[in-house]
Each structure stands twice: as structure tokens, then as C-alpha cells.
């Protein structure tokens, strides 16, 4: 499978000054293949959403790409014109936001919100648009009649499904989901994720799934990337990350989940605070909170990216130089 999305060395800044005051994403590499689910986990301010927005060219001022490349289906996104981006959105790559009360236009019916998006991408016949919209609703298991309703008439779960339907109606190749189920209760969340999985099987799109809920990713993602303070600190196949986390931050995150079965464990939070992105200390951003902190190394030198077992990456001094490949 060739790569659907290739991000190399991406750095995104945020702010009006030059250079900008905040580096939201720093030197991130990430690859997504067709049909693959890549989860991106991190706390607020880790840069995960910024990464996702940059990946499909949706960055709004004052955020902007400072360096690096994003290749979607072979084409460089960072240098696309506004018109090219506009065409790419919705048709080739779609974004699903958290379906808050306000994510759909409150004063127009849902069908017309399908229709105007489709019209902007070549589907001008009303009947054709209606047909596709109905198909999309069938896919996400929402009754067709809700196409004629206003957004406020749908429950939260249904709205989220409607937003997913909207994102899928032109059969895009890549779906970026930003905290899609955070505001929903677990039962609804489970149902939606299941639908999403089935759809992926049917339609074969690639997925970037952003969330702060690592436990969720462990269940649904093929690979998981962990972000901290704008850097991608670990990436691995989901199972391996769960069973054998390498980066101290990942280890700490894992320790924060209670398992449903098994003995009662001591849960640990992570002491300290995430760093102020305007004022990053030199070296590794996690150093101040890291139990494996090595003075003179971690607070001075940038951590190297180490490849382990061919398919895993860790950004940490503990694992030595780039060529090391021990377990």
C-alpha cells in the first residue's frame, strides 16, 4: 500500500510576529496509508489538532506552516493554492469536528448543508444530491427524514453521525476526526465507532483519529502516535504500544488507565505541568516531569529519534542513537 498522506519534518507556528511566538508542532513525521487508522493522542496543547489541521491544509491565521512537507496522494499540500485546497476539501480529504451544537448551520435544514457542499464539488443536480445524501445517512444509520430537519432537532449522537455522513458523502480518501466522540456518552460513542469501522472496511478510506483518550485509540487504531508539547514522542502499532510502551510519557499515560479486569492497581497521575509553549526549555520538553530524567543530557540536548524493531519510533535519550534496535 502506498502512502496516502506523508508528513515530513512539519513545523507549525502560531502567532502574528515573525518568527511566531509559539511553535505548536515541531519537526513531526507521520505516514497514513489507505485503509489505515492512525491515532494521535496527547493532552490539550500538545499540538495534535494543529497537526491534523495542517495535514489537510485547514490552518487559519495566525497559525502557519514554518517548514516541512505534507504530501497528500502525491501532491504537496503546503504549497497548494486556495482553489486547489478548496477542491481537495470534502472531495479527497474530509474533516469531522466534534459535533457541538454549533457545528452545523443552525438556520438551514441539514439537506441543504449537504447540497451546498456537493454543489461546490460538481454535483449540481438537486435530485442527485438528495440521493447521495440519503445514501450517506443510510451508511451512518440515521433515518432519512432527518435530512429535512434543522440541526437543533437532532440529539448529540445523531448530529455526530450526520457530520460523519457529510464527511463521507463524496467518498474521500482520507478522513480526519478531531475528538468526534468526546462529548457523547460511552454507549453512543461505541456505536459510532463501530459504524466507522464498518465504513472503513467498505469504503477503504484512511483515518487520522485525534483524541486525548488513549484507551480509545488502543481499541480502534492500527497505529498510535503520541504527542507532547508539539513533538511526536512515540509511534507504534497499537498493540505494541499498549503492551510495551517505550517513551516515559507513554508509560505514564498507560499507568493512568484503570483496567476493567484484573487486580486493583494504584493509579498514578503525572506530576508537574505541561510546558508553556512560548517558553520551551532546551532539550527534551518532557524532561522536567520525567522519572528517567538524565541531567546534563535531557535538559541540554534535543532527544534523538530512535527506530526500534523497524516499525516503532521513540524520541528519547534512553534509547540511544538512531541506529540502536534493541528491545
Partner 1 sequence: MGRSHAVSEANENGGRVRYLLKRSGALVVTLWIAITVNFVLPRLMPGNPVETMFARYQGKVSPTAMHAMQLDFGLNTKTGELGQYVDYLRNVVSGNLGVSFSYYPARVSTLIGETLPWTLGLVGFATILAFLLGTGLGMFAAWRRGTAGWKRGSIADSGLVPFGLLLGALPSFWISLILLYFVAFRLGWFPVGGGVAAGVGLLTGPGFVSLINHAALPAITLTLISMGLWILLMRNNMLSVLGEDYVKFARSKGLHDRTVAVHYAARNAVLPVFAQLALALGIVVGGQVFIEIVFSYPGIGYLLLNAVENQDYPLIQGIFLIFTVALLLANFLADAFYVLVDPRVRVGARQ
Q: Which of 56, 67, 73 is nearest to 25 (CA)?
A: 67
Residues 214, 236: Cα–Cα separation, whole Å: 13
- For partner 1, the binding residue among 155, 194, 265, 292 (CB under 8 A) is 155
Identify which range of 66-74, 89-97, 218-226, 306-314 contacts partner 1 by CB under 8 A: 89-97
Contact between 59 and partner 1 (CB under 8 A)?
no
Contact between 153 and partner 1 (CB under 8 A)?
yes
Buried b (16+ CB within 10 A) or exposed e, 142-159: beeebbeeebeebebbbb
Class of residue 95 by CB neighbours under 10 A (exposed 0-12, middle 13-18, buried 19+): buried
Which helix (H) or strand (E) covers residue 228, if one does?
strand 223-228
Toward partner 1, which CB reaches closer, 26 or 89?
89
DSSP state of 310: T
Toward partner 1, which CB reaches closer, 100 or 124?
100
By CB under 8 A, the residues from 131 to 150 that bind partner 1 are: 141, 143, 145-146, 149-150
By CB under 8 A, the residues from 181 to 210 that bind partner 1 are: 188, 191
Contact 157, 188 (CB under 8 A): yes
Residues 108, 115: Cα–Cα separation, whole Å: 11
- For partner 1, the binding residue among 7, 12, 129, 154 (CB under 8 A) is 154
Toward partner 1, which CB reaches closer, 163 or 233?
163
Identify which range of 71-79, 85-93, 126-134, 239-247 contacts partner 1 by CB under 8 A: 85-93
- For partner 1, the binding residue among 13, 39, 157, 303 (CB under 8 A) is 157
Contact between 297 and partner 1 (CB under 8 A)?
no
DSSP state of 145: G
By CB under 8 A, the residues from 99 to 138 that bind partner 1 are: 100, 102-108, 116-117, 120-121
Parallel/antiparallel/unpaired status of strands 174-178 and 206-211: parallel
Name the 3-class secondary structure at 138: helix
Q: Minimum distance between the CB of residue 220 and partner 1, rounded to whole angstroms?
A: 19
Toward partner 1, which CB reaches closer, 62 or 320?
62
By CB under 8 A, the residues from 164 to 183 that bind partner 1 are: 166
Among the residues of the chain, which ranges form H helices? 48-55, 82-91, 110-119, 126-139, 156-168, 186-203, 214-220, 238-243, 248-255
By CB under 8 A, the residues from 219 to 258 that bind partner 1 are: none
How much is the CA Rg of the chain, to the nearest whole Å? 21
Toward partner 1, which CB reaches closer, 77 or 224?
77
- For partner 1, the binding residue among 7, 158, 196, 214 (CB under 8 A) is 158
Using CB under 8 A, list all residues that contact partner 1. Answer: 16, 58, 60-62, 64, 85-91, 94-95, 97, 100, 102-108, 116-117, 120-121, 141, 143, 145-146, 149-150, 152-155, 157-158, 163, 166, 188, 191
Amino acid at each position: 500500500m502506498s502512502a496516502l498522506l506523508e508528513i515530513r519534518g512539519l513545523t507549525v507556528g502560531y502567532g502574528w510576529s515573525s518568527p511566531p511566538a509559539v511553535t505548536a508542532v515541531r519537526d513531526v513525521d507521520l505516514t497514513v496509508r489507505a485503509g489505515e487508522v492512525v491515532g494521535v493522542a496527547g493532552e490539550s496543547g500538545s499540538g495534535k489538532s494543529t497537526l491534523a489541521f495542517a495535514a489537510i491544509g485547514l490552518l487559519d491565521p495566525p497559525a502557519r506552516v514554518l517548514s516541512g512537507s505534507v504530501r497528500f496522494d502525491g501532491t504537496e499540500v503546503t504549497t497548494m493554492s486556495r482553489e486547489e485546497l478548496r477542491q481537495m476539501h470534502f472531495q479527497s480529504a474530509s474533516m469531522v469536528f466534534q459535533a457541538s451544537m454549533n457545528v452545523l448551520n443552525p438556520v438551514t435544514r441539514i439537506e441543504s448543508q449537504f447540497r451546498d457542499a456537493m454543489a461546490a464539488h460538481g454535483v449540481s443536480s438537486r435530485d442527485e444530491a438528495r440521493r447521495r445524501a440519503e445514501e450517506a445517512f443510510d451508511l451512518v444509520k440515521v433515518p432519512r427524514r432527518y435530512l429535512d430537519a434543522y440541526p437543533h432537532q437532532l440529539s448529540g449522537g445523531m448530529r455526530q453521525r450526520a457530520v460523519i455522513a457529510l464527511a463521507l458523502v463524496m467518498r474521500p480518501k482520507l478522513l480526519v476526526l478531531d475528538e468526534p466522540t468526546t462529548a457523547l456518552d460511552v454507549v453512543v460513542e461505541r456505536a459510532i465507532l463501530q459504524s466507522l469501522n464498518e465504513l472503513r472496511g467498505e469504503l477503504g478510506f484512511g483515518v487520522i483519529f485525534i483524541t486525548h483518550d488513549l484507551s480509545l485509540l488502543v481499541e480502534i487504531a492500527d497505529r498510535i502516535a503520541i504527542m507532547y508539547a508539539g513533538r511526536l514522542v512515540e509511534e507504534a502499532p497499537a498493540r505494541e504500544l499498549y503492551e510495551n510502551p517505550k517513551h516515559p510519557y507513554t508509560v505514564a499515560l498507560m499507568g493512568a488507565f484503570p483496567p476493567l479486569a484484573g487486580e486493583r492497581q494504584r493509579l498514578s497521575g503525572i506530576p508537574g505541568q505541561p510546558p508553556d509553549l512560548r517558553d520551551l526549555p532546551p532539550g527534551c520538553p518532557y524532561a522536567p516531569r520525567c522519572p528517567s530524567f538524565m541531567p546534563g543530557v535531557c535538559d541540554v540536548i534535543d532527544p534523538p529519534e530512535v527506530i526500534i524493531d523497524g516499525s516503532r519510533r521513540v524520541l528519547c535519550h534512553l534509547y540511544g542513537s538512531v541506529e540502536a534496535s534493541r528491545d
